[in-house]
A and B are shown apart, each in its own frame.
Chain A
């Protein structure tokens, strides 16, 4: 299975076909701009050498798809404020080193704050059951992670846990693409849409991009063959001028998505306007807990009031996750801002564009 999508002899034919189509398209225009939304795609494109392969032909732009990177500075400061209040936080590992306006979780831990790294939100149930402390799960993530967070809330209610809540910072995908296309002039020629998120939401929601904005969309996987198939489909759509939502990750993504997971999300959450780094507040791009689960909302349970948040001087993460700049455009990249000393969130998260460029994208 793995070999089939990594080291497949047909890959060379596929690339030749792509090269030929590219030549035809580039006879009409200078360069093609493709946005990959998901951080895992950014990593895969660099790791498998696609960026170098298409160097002067396709301009790959990272989009708003790394959960830690899109979390606003104010929300990061809220997390740190909670840590200061002496509650017990449970977080995904990538959140640990994100710098807030005045501090970071790492610094608060050194001063005595309790922060546990969890791999699965459901680990919080055990933490809460075996503790008298207040446990707060910092809920970041997209549709891939949200069903598990919804399960956490439902299970917590079933188990009648009084000392567990979530700081809900989750985001949802398709509407942010609409907002991005309406508000920024990026001249995008196509989107590579995330495989994992699409497993849950299916193909339909991306029609907002193809139908309203006339821009090609492909849902793709993460191995070399998956990516080549995805790029092939986008070029095909560009060439024929007929954008559609193509699914090139059919072994994982069903057209309707995972309906059970969608229903689970809807039963616990309802759509909400939320704040994104780089975008500000965007209508209907996040979720809030339904009334019947309000006792699990850390915002209602605690008085969270961080001092005024400020974006970090010189850091352009906000522009990177909106496709307006690339990591190598940042004056701090690789000098002041490195994985061992991150200044912005895109250098912290393993899926952040800056961290991926630092690891895989260094120029020879």
Chain B
């Protein structure tokens, strides 16, 4: 008999028989009232308004990291993707893919994180699934979530909407998540934590204050430089950033320097980049600075001109300009 402490997921937990039922009741027990589907094949939701839908899979290694875990990340990540088109997150699905031998206690911890994150962001879990695969066929646990949200912004928010005269604002320090993971993997002693969080509350505040927003993006994989390259390309504009204005923690810069990587390409999991007309910038910063998660928000650059050959440019510390390109090689695999 396995005692509860070191119980492991077995193939039979995915067989559809009694063991599967036991696993499911544990899942339901922990998640409690954030689940609105009780064992039916589909969950029922009503959406009469204009809605957004998104999905993402989470394969981060390590699954527990400073500042969060794969469960928390899988809810915030999808909630943030909804927020980026101006949608209020309403429903989410959660699929857990488990490796045979994965520990029950880790699974329990992850489920508790999922519950907390769902409660905090106000999403209901409308459907879910568990699958178990034999050992070695995946690494510990992968999570897929899909989300549905209600559009609350009158105009389209899109990567194609950045316009000449717009300012680029970031809601806080960049690169914390990716750097915290890399520091953890390299066994650096550091107090740095992932910034893993929902950015919806910030977005909601801006929309409620009737700020005109052209583009919103969360700088996850590839970091600030990659998503701004995408915005420049999609909107056919050149964007210029000012290196002196970009908020980066000294610890993040130090760890990145030691590893020979660039924080401008390091993932964030709780930041948002806002592109809006420069006449709004003061108002945007005032709103963001009132919130704890936006207190380091900064105006970091601007859309400078239309372009058939769009570029992201960096005005460096010495006042010279260079291109910030898309990277051809990933700096840091499996960080989300």
Contacts and interface: CB of A to CB of B under 8 A. Distances in A.
A and B bound? yes
A350 B329 CA distance: 11
Interface residues of A, number: 28
A49 B240 CA distance: 14
Given A2-B257, A15-B319, A49-B322, A364 B313 contact: yes
Contact of A49 (B244, B311, B316): B316
A51 B254 CA distance: 24
A53 to B, nearest CB: 4
Interface string B241-260: 00110000010011001001
Contacts, number: 64
Contacts of B254: 2
A338 interface: yes
Given A2-B250, A11-B318, A53-B319, A338 B328 contact: yes
A51 B314 CA distance: 14
B323 interface: yes
Contacts of B283: none
B320 interface: yes
A360 interface: yes
Interface in A202-242: 224, 228
Contacts of A361: 322
A23 interface: no
B316 A48 contact: yes
Contacts of B250: 1-3
A87 B218 CA distance: 46
A49 B325 contact: no
B318 A46 contact: no
Contacts of B244: 7
Contacts of B327: 359
Contacts of B317: 6-7, 11, 48-49, 224
Nearest to B244: A7
B311 A364 contact: yes
A258 interface: no
A1 to B, nearest CB: 8
Bin chain B's interface residue count: 20 to 34
A47 interface: yes
A85 interface: no
Interface in A3-33: 3, 6-7, 11-12, 15
Given A338-B328, A364-B321, A224 B260 contact: no
Interface in B278-336: 311, 313-323, 325, 327-329
Contacts of A340: 328-329
A224 B316 contact: yes
Nearest to B322: A49
Contact of B321 (A47, A52, A359): A52
A279 interface: no
Interface in A329-364: 338-340, 350, 358-362, 364
A248 to B, nearest CB: 16
Contact of B253 (A2, A15, A51, A339): A2
Nearest to B309: A364
A293 interface: no
A11 B243 CA distance: 14
A53 B325 contact: no
A50 interface: yes
Interface in B13-67: none
A359 B331 CA distance: 13
Given A2-B254, A340-B329, A364-B313, A53 B323 contact: no
A228 to B, nearest CB: 7
A49 B328 contact: no
Contact of A350 (B243, B260, B321): B260
B318 A53 contact: yes
Contacts of B319: 12, 15, 49, 53
B318 A364 contact: no
Given A3-B250, A228-B318, A338-B328, 17 more contacts: A1-B250, A2-B254, A7-B244, A12-B319, A15-B318, A15-B319, A49-B318, A50-B318, A51-B322, A224-B316, A339-B329, A340-B329, A350-B260, A358-B328, A360-B323, A360-B325, A364-B323
12 contacts: A1-B250, A6-B317, A7-B243, A15-B319, A48-B318, A49-B320, A52-B320, A52-B322, A53-B320, A224-B318, A340-B328, A360-B323
Kindly list the 4 A-B residue pairs having the minimum CB-CB distance in the complex, ordered from nearest: A49-B320, A49-B316, A53-B320, A224-B317
